[in-house]
Structure 1
Amino acid sequence: MSIEKLISSKRQYSLWHCMMPPESKKHGCQSLPTDRLSNLPENVINSILMRLSLRRAVRTSILSQKWRYKWCKLPQLTLDYDLWVETNDLLSLSIKFTKIMYHILTLHSGPLTKFTLSISALKKFPKIGSLIYFLSRNDIQDLVLEFSKWNLYRLPPSFFTCSQLRHLTLQNCVICPPPAFKGFDMLNSLNLRDVTISFKLLESLISSSSLLGKLVLKISDTSNHIQINAPNLRSFDFTGCIKYISLGNVPLLSKLSLSCQESLKASEKCDFDIFFQLLPALEHLYLECGTVQFLVTGAAEVPRRLSSPLNNLKRFKISLGGLVDVSFALCLIRSSPYLQDIEIEAYDLGCEPVPTTNKVDEVFARFSDVTLNHLRAVQLEGVEGMELELQLIKLLLTKSPMLVRMLIEPSTSCHDYDKRRDKILAELTTIQPASTKAEIVVFDEYECYRDTM
Structure 2
Amino acid sequence: MMPPKGRERCQSLRPDILSNLPHNVIDVILIHLPCKDAVGTSVLSKKWRYHWCRRTELTLDESLWKTREDLLNPTVRFREIIYQLLTLHEGPITKFTLDIVHLKRCPEIDNFIFFLRNHIQDLVLHLPFGMRYTLSSTLFTCLQLRHLNLRSCSIYHPYAFEGFDKLISLELCGVSTSSELLESLISHCPLLEQLVLSTSEDLDRIEINAPMLRLLSFTGDISSICLKNVPRLVEASLLGDIEQAESLDFAKVFESCSALEDLSLNFLNSEFVAEEGYKVPTRLPFNLNNVRRFDLPDILLVESYKLSYVLCLIRSFPYLEYLEMQVCDDDDSDTDEESTEDSLEPETLSDLTFNHLGEVQLGSFIGRKSEMQFIKHLLANSPVLERLVINRQFLDEEPLDTREEIFTEISNFLRASPKAEIVYKDLS
Residue in 1 that maps onto 2:387: 405
Residue in 1 that maps onto 2:349: 367
Q: CA deviation at 1:311?
A: 0.3
Residue in 2 that maps onto 1:170: 150
Secondary structure in 1 matching 2:361: strand
Secondary structure in 2 matching 1:180: coil
> Partners in 2 of 1:202 and 1:293 — Cα distance?
27
Counterparts of residues 34-433 of structure 1 (less than 5 Å): 46=27, 49-86=30-67, 88-137=69-118, 139-263=119-243, 266=244, 268-288=246-266, 290=268, 297-298=274-275, 300-318=278-296, 319-323=298-302, 324=304, 325-352=306-333, 353=335, 354=337, 355-356=339-340, 358-361=342-345, 364-412=346-394, 416=398, 421-433=403-415
| Deviation digits for residues 49-74 of structure 1 (CA, Å, limit 9, x no counterpart) | 44443223323333334443343332
> Partners in 1 of 2:314 and 2:242 — Cα distance?
25
Note if contact 2:214-2:235 (Cα within 8 Å) is conserved in structure 1: yes
Label 1:237 to 1:174 Cα distance change in 2 as closer, same or farther (>3 A). same
Label 1:275 to 1:178 Cα distance change in 2 as closer, same or farther (>3 A). closer
- What count of residue pairs does the alignment treat as equivalent? 417
Q: CA RMSD in A?
A: 3.3
Label 1:432 to 1:158 Cα distance change in 2 as closer, same or farther (>3 A). same
Structure 1 range deviating more: 229-238 or 368-377? 368-377
> Partners in 1 of 2:330 and 2:5 — Cα distance?
76
Q: Is there any run of 5+ residues in structure 2 with no aligned partner, and where?
A: none
> Partners in 2 of 1:380 and 1:41 — Cα distance?
58
Q: CA deviation at 1:135?
A: 0.9
Note if contact 2:242-2:267 (Cα within 8 Å) is conserved in structure 1: no
Q: CA deviation at 1:134?
A: 1.0
Note if contact 2:301-2:344 (Cα within 8 Å) is conserved in structure 1: no
Q: CA deviation at 1:27?
A: 7.4
Q: CA deviation at 1:40?
A: 7.4
Note if contact 2:342-2:369 (Cα within 8 Å) is conserved in structure 1: no
Note if contact 1:222-1:262 (Cα within 8 Å) is conserved in structure 2: no
Q: Which amino acid aligns with 2:93?
A: L
Q: Which amino acid aligns with 1:103?
A: Q
Q: CA deviation at 1:77?
A: 1.6
> Partners in 1 of 2:283 and 2:204 — Cα distance?
29
Label 1:49 to 1:368 Cα distance change in 2 as closer, same or farther (>3 A). farther
Q: CA deviation at 1:96?
A: 1.7
Note if contact 1:381-1:409 (Cα within 8 Å) is conserved in structure 2: yes
How does the TM-score come out when normalised to structure 2? Answer: 0.85
Label 1:405 to 1:39 Cα distance change in 2 as closer, same or farther (>3 A). farther
Q: CA deviation at 1:39?
A: 7.7
Note if contact 1:371-1:399 (Cα within 8 Å) is conserved in structure 2: yes
> Partners in 1 of 2:317 and 2:384 — Cα distance?
15
Q: CA deviation at 1:440?
A: 2.2
Residue in 2 that maps onto 1:15: none
Note if contact 1:115-1:140 (Cα within 8 Å) is conserved in structure 2: yes
Label 1:281 to 1:157 Cα distance change in 2 as closer, same or farther (>3 A). same
> Partners in 1 of 2:370 and 2:274 — Cα distance?
22
Label 1:144 to 1:419 Cα distance change in 2 as closer, same or farther (>3 A). farther
Secondary structure in 2 matching 1:379: strand
Q: CA deviation at 1:180?
A: 2.4
Q: Which amino acid aligns with 1:71?
A: W
> Partners in 2 of 1:391 and 1:42 — Cα distance?
70
Residue in 2 that maps onto 1:6: none
Q: Which amino acid aligns with 1:251?
A: P
Label 1:369 to 1:245 Cα distance change in 2 as closer, same or farther (>3 A). closer
Label 1:428 to 1:25 Cα distance change in 2 as closer, same or farther (>3 A). farther
Q: CA deviation at 1:445?
A: 7.0
Structure 1 range deviating more: 434-443 or 235-244? 434-443
State percent identity of aligned pairs: 45
> Partners in 1 of 2:80 and 2:395 — Cα distance?
50
> Partners in 1 of 2:45 and 2:26 — Cα distance?
15
| Deviation digits for residues 262-318 of structure 1 (CA, Å, limit 9, x no counterpart) | 55xx55432223433332221111112636976x84483333332211101011001
Secondary structure in 1 matching 2:343: helix
Q: CA deviation at 1:360?
A: 1.4
> Partners in 1 of 2:270 and 2:11 — Cα distance?
72
Note if contact 2:242-2:248 (Cα within 8 Å) is conserved in structure 1: no
Note if contact 1:243-1:267 (Cα within 8 Å) is conserved in structure 2: no
Label 1:100 to 1:419 Cα distance change in 2 as closer, same or farther (>3 A). farther
